Amino acid sequence: MAEVDIVKGLKAIEEIKVEMLKAQWAMQEGSLRGSEGDMLQGLADLVALSYLLTRRMGFDFSKLDRTLLQRLEEWKTEDHHKVETQWGDISLLLSYLAPED
């Protein structure tokens, strides 16, 4: 019975990864068409599917959150794609995700 569970788990992981590619494609298509709704839906799907994939791979949602915050801090320091110095996007996202009350 354990083998069936492992196979089901692997199948679910692969299906989520395919759905992530579809969501990225939908976001790209929405961008090309100028469709705000399609772009946002694709982006929302990517976020939601990332959490679902995290769970299927055996990690807690909170571990993804912590890793995301660490990654953003690294990007801020490195000025990843210049979005920090030009627009302050990384600082804005960090303050949104982890507000300092």
Q: 100 pLDDT band (50/70/90 cuts)? A: confident
Same domain? 9 vs 55: yes
Same domain? 54 vs 72: no
Same domain? 47 vs 15: yes
Q: How many other C-beta atoms lie within 10 A of the C-beta of residue 39?
A: 18
- pLDDT (tens digit, 9 = 90+) per residue, 39-81? 999 999 999 999 999 999 999 999 999 999 999 999 999 998 9
Residue 82: partners with Cβ closer than 8 Å, 6 or more residues away: none
| Residue keyed to tokens 């788990």 | 9
φ/ψ of residue 98, rounded to 5 = -140, 75
What is the pLDDT, as a whole number, of residue 6?
A: 83
pLDDT higher than 90, residue 7: no
pLDDT higher than 70, residue 82: yes
Domain that holds residue 92: 60-100
Same domain? 17 vs 45: yes
Same domain? 79 vs 42: no
Round the average pLDDT of the chain to a whole number and report it: 94
Q: Do residues 47 and 39 lie in contact, with contact meaning Cβ atoms separated by under 8 Å?
A: no
Element (H, E) at 94: helix 89-97
pLDDT higher than 80, residue 3: no
What is the distance between the terminal CA atoms of the chain, rounded to a whole angstrom? 49
Following DSSP, what letter does each residue of 38-80 receive, concatenated? HHHHHHHHHHHHHHHHHHHTT--HHHHHHHHHHHHHHHHHHTG
